[in-house]
Chain A
Amino acid sequence: MGYIRDEDKKYLKGEFDKHLREEVKLLVFVGDDCQYCNVASDIAKEVAELHPLIKFEEHRIGDALANEYGLERAPTVVITDGDMYGGRIRYVGLPSGYEFSSLIEDIVDVSRRSAEVSPEVMEKLKKIDKPVLIQVFVTPTCPYCPRAVRTAHRFAIINPNVTGEMVEANEFPDWADRWKVMSVPHIIINEDVQFIGAYPDEQYIDYVVQAYEKIK
């Protein structure tokens, strides 16, 4: 028996059949002394088996691709087309619980090579022409967190200068402590501008712009 229940697989298969357009790579970067690496790979394999357009690959932290994407911790799950999105849409730690829904929505968006934001948000987002890293600390039992993760990932799909990174706080307590994460979602942009909560795009983008203005 796998991790994903049969009835959920059936539902997901239907959704993928309806919405997937182009190939999506599901890359899992594993490492040594990693409690959930096998689970991350197994889950990604199970998801990939649901549709021929989803391709699973296992890599290692420290290999050429991990270095190219700037990945340091395992497990990291990357959703990408290969070129356009590189390693910019990622999950550090297991995308389980509520974050599994973010992963599925990301797969659909990446396959469609598009994400949606309002014209007002798009205008602000398009102006960002320097690298911006949005890190979203979450717990898998937080119902509000996927919204914050998905916003970071949608921004990353639209603008090639944006990287959206979910961080599972329970798996990386030292990292969470470094940023004094005590409530999630806790969002940190360019390791500088921070806010807490699942805000609508319109407010979220203003924090991103604020961080960008500082490096411009």
Chain B
Amino acid sequence: MNFGFVIPTGSRASKEVDVAIIGGGPAGLSAGIYATRAGLNAIIIDKGNAGGLAEEAPYVENYLGYKGIKGEELVKKFKEHAVDYLEISERNEVREIIKEEGTYLIKAEKGDYRARAIIFATGTTHKNLGIPGEKEFFGKGVSYCVTCDGYFFRGKKVALIGGGNSGAIAAIYLKDIGVEPIVLEYMPRFMCEKAYENIIKERGIPYHTNVQVTSIEGSETGEKVVYKDRATGEVKEVEVDGVFIYVGLIPISGLAKSLGVETDEKGYIKVDLKMRTNVPYIYAAGDVTGYAGQIIIAAGQGAMAALSAYEDLMLK
């Protein structure tokens, strides 16, 4: 058994910094390293554990230098690297940001921080499907996190709604720990990388395409998933012990919006190629910008945002 110890970081003192990085996923951690190396005094503030959604990825097979690594382990390496440079304040939710003359006052759970610039690396969270039964059976068979809850379904059958990369990885992980997943994908084709498609086929994981899930039904727990075959219109159902939902992500951009930062219609923060937003001294990086939702891209964007902050704060 691998006990995989996770070490907490961050003190609880209020402080003044050049740049506050909100969110400690790959974008935020990378921004922290670049900002500090450039000479900026920075802090990373995260409402949970540093790591972001990457922590939930059972496997990562497309980050340069790693042929295959658990998301949790990759993030641990990122975090260990970043913590050599700057404070990462975990379990410290930012409640409010107030613009004051020349600075921002960031009011968080563990203290107040004053910053000249802010990088929003707030990421995304799981999207709900919005079908009957989803809310009612949440925690009673419906889940959004296979690494958290997969073990409760060992030896049982579950529906995995959404066959994109996250859903495909989740299905493979479930199969590996002894769960029998069946993937239900809305589009008429495999929506994950070819590499995952191959594994799904190799392991004999059923992957149904062109189906629209319409409800989750049951008495005490979610016991049945009802779906429509989009080609024929036929309504079908599958009996399961649990349902995992991986139908996409929504950006966490409320705080940025409160400062006048522009977002697109879906709520993703609009940035230029240098990760600047429409508001001076505010930058965004990572999944909250709506790019590919890839760890390597988030890390690159974080670096870019930090370099832009350095340019604006120190070279102008």
Report A-chain residues with C-beta under 8 Å of the C-beta of B56.
Answer: 143
Q: How far is the CB of A6 from chain B (nearest CB, A)?
A: 12
Q: Is the C-beta of A142 less than 8 angstroms from some C-beta in chain B?
A: yes
Report A-chain residues with C-beta under 8 Å of the C-beta of B152.
Answer: 169, 176, 181-183
Q: Is the C-beta of A61 less than 8 angstroms from some C-beta in chain B?
A: no
Report B-chain residues with C-beta under 8 Å of the C-beta of A145.
Answer: 148
Contact pick for A146, options B4, B49, B139, B221, CB 8 Å: B49
Contact pick for A97, options B5, B8, B83, B141, CB 8 Å: B5
A200 & B80 in contact (Cβ 8 Å cutoff): no
- Find residues 79-96 in chain B having any chain A CB closer than 8 Å to their own CB: 80, 83, 90-91, 93
A8 & B5 in contact (Cβ 8 Å cutoff): yes
Contact pick for B3, options A101, A140, A146, A169, CB 8 Å: A140
Q: Please, how many residues of chain A have a CB less than 8 angstroms from a CB on the other chain?
A: 47
**Please, which residue of chain B has its CB at the minimum distance from the CB of A104?**
B8
**What is the CA–CA distance of A145 and B6 in the complex, to the nearest angstrom?**
12
Number of A-B contacts (CB under 8 A): 112
**What is the CA–CA distance of A181 and B148 in the complex, to the nearest angstrom?**
12
Report B-chain residues with C-beta under 8 Å of the C-beta of A176.
Answer: 152
Report B-chain residues with C-beta under 8 Å of the C-beta of A147.
Answer: 48, 91
Q: Is the C-beta of B110 less than 8 angstroms from some C-beta in chain A?
A: yes
Q: Is the C-beta of A208 less than 8 angstroms from some C-beta in chain B?
A: no
**Please, which residue of chain B has its CB at the minimum distance from the CB of A36?**
B1
Take A143-B49, A196-B138 as given contacts and tell me if A100 and B7 are in contact as well, using a CB distance cutoff of 8 Å.
Answer: yes
Q: Is the C-beta of B11 less than 8 angstroms from some C-beta in chain A?
A: yes
- Find residues 90-143 in chain B having any chain A CB closer than 8 Å to their own CB: 90-91, 93, 109-110, 138-143
Q: Is the C-beta of A139 less than 8 angstroms from some C-beta in chain B?
A: yes
**What is the CA–CA distance of A18 and B8 in the complex, to the nearest angstrom?**
14
Report B-chain residues with C-beta under 8 Å of the C-beta of A94.
Answer: 3
Contact pick for B48, options A97, A118, A196, A198, CB 8 Å: A198
Report A-chain residues with C-beta under 8 Å of the C-beta of B220.
Answer: 180
Q: Is the C-beta of B151 less than 8 angstroms from some C-beta in chain A?
A: yes
Q: Is the C-beta of B236 less than 8 angstroms from some C-beta in chain A?
A: no
**What is the CA–CA distance of A3 and B145 in the complex, to the nearest angstrom?**
27
A184 & B148 in contact (Cβ 8 Å cutoff): yes
A143 & B149 in contact (Cβ 8 Å cutoff): no
A101 & B7 in contact (Cβ 8 Å cutoff): yes
Q: Is the C-beta of B26 less than 8 angstroms from some C-beta in chain A?
A: no
Report A-chain residues with C-beta under 8 Å of the C-beta of B185.
Answer: none
A180 & B148 in contact (Cβ 8 Å cutoff): no
Bitwise interface map of B from 40 to 52 toward A, beta carbon under 8 Å scored 1, else 0: 0000000011010
A140 & B8 in contact (Cβ 8 Å cutoff): no
Bitwise interface map of B from 1 to 38 toward A, beta carbon under 8 Å scored 1, else 0: 00111111101100000000000000000000000000
Q: Is the C-beta of A12 less than 8 angstroms from some C-beta in chain B?
A: yes
Report A-chain residues with C-beta under 8 Å of the C-beta of B11.
Answer: 18-19
Contact pick for A183, options B3, B7, B80, B143, CB 8 Å: B143
Report B-chain residues with C-beta under 8 Å of the C-beta of A102.
Answer: 8
Report A-chain residues with C-beta under 8 Å of the C-beta of B139.
Answer: 182-183, 186, 196-197
Report B-chain residues with C-beta under 8 Å of the C-beta of A169.
Answer: 151-152
**What is the CA–CA distance of A100 and B55 in the complex, to the nearest angstrom?**
16
Q: How far is the CB of B28 from chain A (nearest CB, A)?
A: 15
- Find residues 239-292 in chain B having any chain A CB closer than 8 Å to their own CB: 242
**What is the CA–CA distance of A142 and B146 in the complex, to the nearest angstrom?**
9
Contact pick for A96, options B4, B49, B55, B143, CB 8 Å: B4
Q: Is the C-beta of A105 less than 8 angstroms from some C-beta in chain B?
A: yes
A96 & B48 in contact (Cβ 8 Å cutoff): no
**A–B pairs, 18, beta carbons within 8 Å:** A3-B5, A5-B5, A8-B7, A15-B9, A97-B5, A100-B3, A101-B5, A101-B6, A101-B90, A116-B12, A116-B110, A144-B48, A146-B8, A150-B91, A169-B151, A182-B221, A182-B242, A183-B152
Leading 4 A-B pairs by shortest Cβ distance: A196-B139, A142-B148, A101-B8, A96-B3
| Residues in B lying within 8 Å of A, measured CB to CB | 3-9, 11-12, 48-49, 51, 55-56, 72, 80, 83, 90-91, 93, 109-110, 138-143, 145, 147-149, 151-153, 220-221, 242
Known contacts A15-B9, A143-B55, A182-B153; 18 additional CB pairs below 8 A are A7-B80, A96-B5, A98-B6, A100-B5, A100-B6, A101-B6, A141-B151, A144-B145, A150-B91, A182-B221, A183-B138, A183-B140, A183-B142, A183-B145, A183-B149, A184-B148, A184-B149, A201-B109
